[in-house]
Amino acid sequence: MDVDLVVAGAGGGLAGALRTAQLGMDVLVVEADEHHLRGNNTSMSTAMIPGAGSRFQRAAGIDDSPEGFLDDIAAKTGGQADPRVATALATVSAELVEWLADHVGMPIELAGDVDYPGHSARRMHTLPGRHGSVLLQCLTDAVRAHDRIDLLAPARLVGVGTARTGSRSAVVRYPDGRSEEISARAVLLATNGFGADPELVRTHLPEIAGVDYHGSEHSRGDALRIGASLGAATGCLDAYQGHAAVSAAARTLVTWTTVMQGGLVVDGEGRRFGDETLGYSEFAALLAAQPGGYGWIVLDERINDLCLSFTDFRDVVDSGAVRTADTLGELAERTGMSAPILAAEVAAMAAVARGDASDPHGRTHVAAPLAPPYQAIEVVPALFHTQGGLLVDEHGQVLDTAGAPLGGLYASGGAAVGMSGHGAAGYLAGNGLLPALGLAYLAADHLAAA
């Protein structure tokens, strides 16, 4: 036996490598992209990780629990989230963020100033700068410092077999075409989903297939192909995280906190077209359906100042993508919107904020009315990542079509069925990183007990 665990993918899977090594086992991480520190989804993320009932929440006086989180998941997904996975992840979430702080040494802090659609408590944990590059750097530094973990990159997992010992073998291919077979007690598929494979996206996610893809180019569906070759079952392949707030000019995420703090999303003429607070993921397809497939986030200086804690938002501001004007008429001139339509939308939302009117789209959460000077950022819809994948149990074990575990094979993150049910609307903030880090962590615990 070469190692106890081969982890394929150095994104969220690194949490599984670190947990496995902490439990006294040897790990080999194989990573297809030598630039993964800047190129994978974990590195591109906003680093928001939910932890329900954590000590960070208690210190901030926030009362939360896995049960409360599960209720939110059930409400957002219409009860369609995989129950085993959702329960396991909601239950481990607080332990996970505390472990990242205590064992990995991450400067974890509660994002106590932001609300996200569908979360009934402020339960996002993050790092200073609120960017996944910091998160991934911390994970990678800890991996490199651990003498039980080797990280091999670039090296692509191309197959998983069964070794003569009854354990697994991982077939790895190098860029020069050479291949190597490594024997291991188990393999963890942490290779993300299939967002970078246009054919698979067209097949499973036709409603979002035409928009920009804003995720890792290495999310090519390798886990699906490898899983299929072993008889694995799949689930929720139509699930995805979209986003309706990618800056058209900067091609960087404008945080949805702009909206949750009172901003509006309007079409090219300045007209709202839905309740923005339901969720940014489902808003992507709505935005794509507007004339020209673009829109604007209308905000003000108060909101702008609040969002500067997000690295991505600062990048958007620094790129010059924010248009500012003292009046809505001037803002309309600078953006090509219709002044009367924009003014009517802002006035109507101010009335909702004051409690004087109800919103025809059903929006009830308006932090405050917009005030001059006004700002606007042009946005386009994007696909961030796919959410369905290989069916797994509460330990991250990959299941066959009869529901039995395929021994020695685990999946996490975008490679596995997520906790978002079907379509785009089930995505709650944090539903990407929690399965990525959490299923990898749970797989390590299971392997240690096996």
Ligand X SMILES: Cc1cc2nc3c(=O)[nH]c(=O)nc-3n(C[C@H](O)[C@H](O)[C@H](O)COP(=O)(O)OP(=O)(O)OC[C@H]3O[C@@H](n4cnc5c(N)ncnc54)[C@H](O)[C@@H]3O)c2cc1C
Interface contacts to ligand X, rule CB under 6 A:
8-13, 30-33, 36, 40-42, 44-48, 156-157, 190-192, 214-216, 218-219, 222, 253, 384-385, 413-414, 430-434, 436
CB of 24 to ligand X, least distance (A): 24
- Which of 99/374 has CB closer to ligand X? 99
Minimum CB distance to ligand X smaller for 215 or for 227: 215
CB 42 → ligand X: shortest distance, Å?
A: 3
Nearer to ligand X by Cβ, of 6 and 348: the residue is 6
Angle at 290 between CA 198 and CA 359, to 5 degrees: 125
Retrieve residue 258's tokens.
């702009």
Cβ 353 to ligand X shortest distance, Å? 27
* Least Å from the CB of residue 157 to ligand X: 4
Question: Least Å distance between CB 60 and ligand X?
Answer: 19
CA 342, CA 329: separation in Å to the nearest integer? 8
Classify residue 127 by burial, with Cβ atoms within 10 Å: 0-12, 13-18, 19+: buried
Smallest gap from Cβ 219 to ligand X, in A, equals 6
331 or 411: CB nearest ligand X: 411
Minimum CB separation from ligand X for residue 227, in Å?
12
CB of 356 to ligand X, least distance (A): 35
Instruction: Say which amino acid occupies 11.
Output: G
Nearest CB to ligand X, comparing residues 19 and 272: 19
* Shortest distance (Å) from residue 49 CB to ligand X: 6
CB of 183 to ligand X, least distance (A): 17
Considering beta carbons, is residue 69 or 374 the nearer one to ligand X?
69
Q: Which is nearer to ligand X, 154 or 369 (by Cβ)?
A: 154
Nearer to ligand X, 284 or 299 (CB): 284
Closest to ligand X by CB, 222 vs 269, is 222
* Cβ-based nearer residue to ligand X, 254 or 332: 254
Tokens 């670039």, residue? 154
